[in-house]
Each structure stands twice: as C-alpha cells, then as structure tokens.
Structure 1
Amino acid sequence: MTYHPKSDFIAVMMERGFLADCTDYQGLDEALMQGVKPAYIGFDATAKSLHVGSLIQIMMLRWFQKTGHQPITLMGGGTTKVGDPSFRADERPLLNDAQIDDNIAGIKKVFSAYIDYDSDAPNKALMLNNAEWLNGLNYLEFLRDIGRHFSVNRMLAFESVKSRLDREQSLSFLEFNYMILQAYDFLELNRRYGCILQMGGSDQWGNIVNGIDLTRRVLDTSIYGLTSPLLTTSDGKKMGKSQDGAVWLNAEMRSPYEFWQFWRNTTDADVGRFLKLYTELPVEECTRLGALAGSEVNAAKVILANEVTKLLHGAEAAATAEATAREVFEKGGVGDDLPTLTLTRAELGEGVSIVQLIVKSGLAKSGKDAKRLISENGAKLDDKALSDAGLMIDATALSSPIKLSAGKKRHALVQLSD
C-alpha cells in the first residue's frame, strides 16, 4: 500500500498496523480533512463483557477521537436479537430483551476508559443503541423500502455466507437478514448524525459494503468503510483467547492482575506489533522495544502489560499488577493482587480436595484437567510440586493463605474467611 495520507487518522491507522482494507482511501482521507466527521463501530451484546479481540476496534475509535473526529459506539440492542452469522459454523443462541440489556450494561463500562463521552468538545463521542430504530420497524414497509435494494445473488456471494453454505452448514433466514439490518444501521446513522464511516474487523467487509451501497441508493450519499486485520498471535492463536478462556475486559470477569499477566506472556515475535496496536507509545519506541532479544525482551513485555493495563484499568492497577508479578516470580512470595479464592468454614467442611481447589481457583477447567496437571508435574502448592491428586486441604492447612500454581505463570491464592 503506497498511498500517502493527508489526514492524521489515516496516517495513524497505516503507521500502527490497523488497516486491512478501505473502500476508498483517497475519498475518506479528503473527507476527514473537512472538519469533524462521525464514524461508528457496532458491538453486539452477546456477553456481559467484550474481550481482548474487540480491543483493536476500541483503539480505532479512541484514535479517531484523538485525531479530532467524533466516534460513535453503536450497541447492537436490535441486531443481537438476530445474531451475526459471519464466519460462524453454527447459529448463535438467541437472547431475550432482559439478557441483551444486561449485557449492554456490562459492555458500556469499558468504553469510558478509552473514549470521552462527557466533554463539551465538538467531537464528543456518542453511545447509541440500534434497538432505537430496529425495534419499531414495520416488516412490510421495510421489505418494500429497504429489501428491494438487496440482491440475494450478491448476498450469497459474500465470503461470510458462502463459506457457511460451502460447508453445507445451515444458515437460517433469521441470520441471513443480519447483513440487511447492519446495512440499515449505516443508513440511519448517516441520516441522523451525518456518519460517513463504518469501521470493523475484516470479517465485516461484506456487511460494511452493503451499508455503503444501500446508503448510496437511498440517500445518494458517499460514505466509506475501513477494516482492521483479524488478529492472530504469531503462533496462530485467535487474539482474545488464552489457555483458561476468553480474556475479558471487565474487571469483575478478568482481574486487572490476570489481564496484565496476559500481556506479560506475549510471545517475543508479537511484542512490537502489539505495542503499536494496543498502546499509545510512539511508533519508533514500539519498533525499538519489539526488536529487543533475549532477556531484554522481557522488559519490553512488562512495558506492554503496563501500558495496556493502564489504559483499561488505570495507572494504579497496572503498578499493583507489576508489583504482584515481581513478588510472585522474582521473590517467590505472595503478591497482594493475585486471583483469590476465599472459602467459608461451611464450604471447607472437613476438608476440600486439592483437585477441587485447583478448579475453583480457575487454574484448571475441570477435575480431569487438574489431575492431568498434577500427573504432569505442572501443579505446585506453595511453590512445591504437587504429586498427590488425593490430597485434602483442611482448616489447619488454611490457617494462613496457600498459593496454588499451574505452570510457571499462573497462580492463585486460597484462603479461609474470618
């Protein structure tokens, strides 16, 4: 890509590695030079929190605002009722209104850490919900006014739909409507707020193009689409997943220490790329840190973990997480911020097996996993290898907190409540 951008936003996107594709680089670039412009990204409410896989989109909205424009965070209160089929093998479970509202309340908590919704600036961000215009749609009017602009032949050719059908996996009529509803979102946001840009992961390309086409046909307006790469780690894993499940952004679902630790465990090859995408350190500094080798790269990983945690949870949480990690790893001690399992005397009873404690503390997904961890010498109790899967822990053993470890990097405390 040899395009030389004039606008700060496109320059940042290209320089830091956010860009996969754009419907019209030059047109968007020139539009962004003409004052404050709105852009949006949609987030469906399929869980109570977003995970690290959505962080690239959140950072795009943050940079959009930092370069002088107006980000719109669109909650999918309406589209979540349908479920995005893009590149999925099966239909998403349907959620009721109460579940969707509950999930939206959880998701909203994260955005204010990254984006300013409260200032009096002309580029103050908007938080909207597409249920506002989707819930009240009249089906026949919608089919006549909007549906007529969509070619089924073209919709079937989109990769997200085609790949599902090629594998002979069922695609419900409900899901097939998703791309029409997302296209309608873009039309409504342009009509109501003058929104000129939709951004998203590269799996959203077909949906974004549909919205641009629909808005051009209905309103005769030029709008744009821009996608980010779908990130995998250098070892091929999907970004946002770890060995113990999704890396959630909400603190109550993933503690700041565990979040910090996820970034500290980044593989060497990903450090420079992740610094550019997930922090605001200057690009030259990201490149320098990413080029470090040997033990020096560990210092770069601590900087990565601190900077990413600082943006989400604040400087104090990042400093506490780093101190806890140093205490645990360098001194073999017990840090203040480790994930902690607190048992009541009633829960403890006559004693609890070490296998149950490993599962309850989140270090293994099941008793079978915990037993395998012990048999492979991967589990430790107070830094000593565990070999007996039948070990029982009673009140005497918990007269002071104990530390459980799974491998070298994952730890938890177990304590008895007063």
Structure 2
Amino acid sequence: MGIIEELKWRGAINQQTDEEGLRQLLEEKSVGLYCGIDPTGDSMHIGHLIPFIILKRFQMAGHRPYVVIGGGTGSIGDPSGRNSERELQTMEKVDANAEKLSLQMKKLFKAGQAQSGIHLANNKDWLMPMTLLEFLRDFGKEFSVNVMLSKDVVASRLDTGISFTEFSYQIIQSIDFLHLFKHEDVQLQIGGADQWGNITAGLDLIRRKEGVEAEAYGLTIPLLLKADGTKFGKTAGGAVWLDPQKTTPYEFYQFWFNQDDRDVVKYLKYFTFLTEEEIDRLAEVVQNEPHKRLAQKVLAEEMTRFVHGQEALDEAITISEALFSGNVQQLKADQIEASFKDVPNTNVKKGSYPIIDFLVDEAKVVPSRRQAREDIQNGAIYIKGERITDLDYEVNDKDSYDQRFVLIRRGKRRYFLVHLV
C-alpha cells in the first residue's frame, strides 16, 4: 500500500491539489514535504498532533519531512476562521515559545538519532531580513486582492473585520513554501483543512516565480470530529497538552483510555502506527467485547509512548492500576500529586489529629461528626488506601506521602487530597 492509499484508508485526507501527480512523484523519489506551526504558545496540544503524525508517516515511508516553526508568521497572527484577531506577542515571547516547540518536535521525530530524517526550520530566518519594499516589490505584485478576498480564511472574516496584518498572512506563508521549494527541494505542503487557502496561495506563487511546470503539491487533513459532533481535543478540563508539566503522562494516558467506543477505531487509524490487520482485530473486540476496552488501552499505550516515552507510559499504567484497585499506598508522593490534582483539596497544618476531628474540622471531608462516625463504622473511610474502622484512630505523619499529602477516600471513588503545611 502506497502512502496516499494508506492515508485514504486512515481517513486522513481532506483535499489534494493533484492526487495522481503527487502519487507518481512519491513513487519516483524521496520527496521533501513540510508542515508549519506558529509559536503562539509554549506547547502543542493533541489537536496539533494530527498533521505532524501525517508528516511522521511520510518520514517512515522514506520521505524528507520539514517542520517550520513560524517565528515570523507567529508574530503577526493567522486568519484561520477565527472571529477575532490573534493577540500579538513580544518577539522575546515568540522566540521562547519557538524554542520549546522545537524541543517537542525533536522528541516526536527522534531528531538527533541516526537516520531520523527530520529537518527543523524557523521562517523568521528568511522573513526578518526582508525589507518592506522588497516584500511589496517581489511578492505583493504577485497576489490579486480579489483572489485573496475569495479565500475561505479571509472571506469568513469579512463581516467581523480583518486587519491588513492578518490579511497579508497568506502572502507570508506563501513565501515559506517558495523558500523551501527553491532551497530545500520541498514539493509538498500539508496542513489542516482550514489551511487550504494558504497552501494553494503558496502553489500559485511558486508557479508564478518558478514557471507553470514547477512540481509542487498541497494536501490537507479533515477536521476531526467526535461521534457527538464536537471538535476532537476539547475537554471539560481544557486542552490536553504535550508538555508533561501542563498535562501529566497519567492524565494524557487517561484521556485516550476514556475515549468513546464509537470513536476509538477512528483514532487508532488517525493517531497510531498500527497496521490495518492490527486495527481490524481491535475493531472486532470493540464490536463483540466492548467491556474489555482493549482498543482504548492500546490507543492510550501507543499515544503515551509516542509522546512521552516508555518510562512515562510505565508510570501512567502503574498509577492507573493502583487507582483502579485502590492500592494507592504503593504510589509515590509525586505520583499522588499528578493523579489527584483535580480532586477536592485543602491545607492542614502538620501534626497529629483524632480521626473524627481530621475528617470534619480539618480536611472537611465529612459534614458532621455523626456522619463521620457512621462512615468509619461502615468501613467507608480509607486513608492512604487503608480502611479505617477505629473511632479512636490518630492521623499523623505515618499516613502521609513524604509528609506532603494525606490521601482520603470516602466510599468507592470519592477522593480528597490534604496538603500538609
């Protein structure tokens, strides 16, 4: 199966400028291709992953991927269907974000290893030296305002308004494609569905500058929607980040593990590098034995390993198994902090407390002393994974994780984290 056929099977192609021409080119040679990302933040989230996983698939098929960090374009914004202007950032902030995104890309593509084949570039390097007069003379003359206004990324903003700065974004991104075409033999740009207008603008510029016979292509990936019609990657808790300081590997693992049966096979095709046979086998399990959640488990393992590595995956599984079994006493303080940062929490001064005082007055886990006594006698209170049934029990350092936290469970699944101060 060729790379285009594989992408079609995975449901990962939205539009192509010349499918047959691109297929022939990919069969003839190792092709340079690129995808860009603007450093508007200091980390990618899972929504950003989709085009770069496509880039990785091309890499595995023997082609030459380029990642362009938009240190230039990211400083001015991007009219990609938003109803408002992007907030401009200082160049210092843009540069700092670009450095962090570059590190994430190197990790994803295993840059630095033999035969990694990934090339990183920053469009600031060729855009910043350009003067305003050079921009207008060499590139502005090549673009028709009428055509630019017809592009979806601009047309969708005409009612609400768009600045000249963001209106010019497609010209600047076109310069990126031309630069890579001329200097790096890059012939294919890929991007999300909302980038079609910018990609085709780049192709037009290449043909005006390099001749109508210039071989350059564009490919976009469809917008990924969940079974309920909402956009993939949006959660009640906000974005799911690739930065482990923003979203821990355990939280990352749990995000994938908790996917709907209706979506999991689609995500296996989109995001993992499993074969068609492996995914078909998992699809059968989803159909016949959904309670096993085997497909979700494989998806969570594949994605956590890909983004965070085997060691982080092992820790995420350890935490998950401990929480499922209730054996949280085997976890370390850092694992507790990562796992329970979203549960109700409070601060309590270090010391020794009678269990009822601790539950009612200090941790405020139980609303009344009568209820606390009933919960203890009924075996509904656990501290550090151990059931407490003694009304005279004293809570102190022995119940903590490194004298930092006390973890309380009330009932089957209600956890409370007490920070010792």
Q: Same fold (TM over 0.5)?
A: yes
8 Å contact kept, 2:73–2:169: yes
Aligned to 1:82, which of 63, 71, 76?
A: 76
TM-score scaled by structure 1?
A: 0.81
Pair member with larger Rg: 2
Corresponding residue for residue 325 of structure 2: 330
Aligned to 1:91, which of 85, 102, 112?
A: 85
Distance 2:415 2:111 in 1: 37
Task: Give unmatched runs, 5+ long, in structure 2.
Answer: 351-357, 365-379, 384-394
Corresponding residue for residue 182 of structure 1: 173
Within the alignment, does 1:200 sit opposite 2:191 as a pair? yes
Within the alignment, does 1:229 sit opposite 2:222 as a pair? yes
> How far is the alpha carbon of 1:55 from its aligned partner?
1.0
8 Å contact kept, 2:347–2:418: no
* Residues 246/397 of structure 1: CA separation in 2 closer, same or farther (3 Å cut): farther
* Residues 153/411 of structure 1: CA separation in 2 closer, same or farther (3 Å cut): farther
Corresponding residue for residue 316 of structure 1: 311
* Residues 188/255 of structure 1: CA separation in 2 closer, same or farther (3 Å cut): same
Point out the more displaced range, 109-118 or 133-142. Answer: 109-118
Distance 1:152 1:353 in 2: 68
Corresponding residue for residue 163 of structure 2: 172
Aligned to 2:151, which of 124, 144, 158?
A: 158
Aligned to 2:61, which of 67, 73, 77?
A: 67
* Residues 402/169 of structure 1: CA separation in 2 closer, same or farther (3 Å cut): farther
Within the alignment, does 1:298 sit opposite 2:293 as a pair? yes
* Residues 98/27 of structure 1: CA separation in 2 closer, same or farther (3 Å cut): same
Distance 2:292 2:232 in 1: 20
8 Å contact kept, 2:347–2:419: no
1:10-49 superposed Cα distances (whole Å, 9 cap, x missing partner): 1221222211111001111111122221100000001110
* Residues 143/322 of structure 1: CA separation in 2 closer, same or farther (3 Å cut): same
1:285-315 superposed Cα distances (whole Å, 9 cap, x missing partner): 2133134145445122111101110111112
Distance 2:205 2:223 in 1: 25
Q: How many residues align?
A: 371
Aligned to 1:416, which of 400, 403, 420?
A: 420
Aligned to 1:144, which of 124, 128, 137?
A: 137
Distance 1:163 1:410 in 2: 46
Distance 1:128 1:204 in 2: 19
Corresponding residue for residue 25 of structure 2: 31
Sequence identity percentage: 37
> How far is the alpha carbon of 1:156 from its aligned partner?
1.0
8 Å contact kept, 1:48–1:103: yes
8 Å contact kept, 1:306–1:319: no
TM-score scaled by structure 2?
A: 0.80
Residues 105-116 of structure 1 aligned to structure 2 (within 5 Å):
105-116=99-110
8 Å contact kept, 1:113–1:311: no
1:317-362 superposed Cα distances (whole Å, 9 cap, x missing partner): 21221221121123364645341679xxxx94769999xx99xxxx
Corresponding residue for residue 283 of structure 1: 276
> How far is the alpha carbon of 1:275 from its aligned partner?
0.8
Amino acid at match of 2:257: R
* Residues 208/414 of structure 1: CA separation in 2 closer, same or farther (3 Å cut): farther
Distance 1:381 1:31 in 2: 66
Within the alignment, does 1:191 sit opposite 2:185 as a pair? no
Distance 2:197 2:359 in 1: 52
8 Å contact kept, 1:65–1:71: yes
Aligned to 1:219, which of 210, 216, 220?
A: 210
Distance 1:68 1:39 in 2: 11
SS in structure 1 of the partner of residue 190 of structure 2: strand
The two structures, once aligned, show a CA RMSD in angstroms of 3.2
Task: Give unmatched runs, 5+ long, in structure 1.
Answer: 1-5, 359-379, 384-394
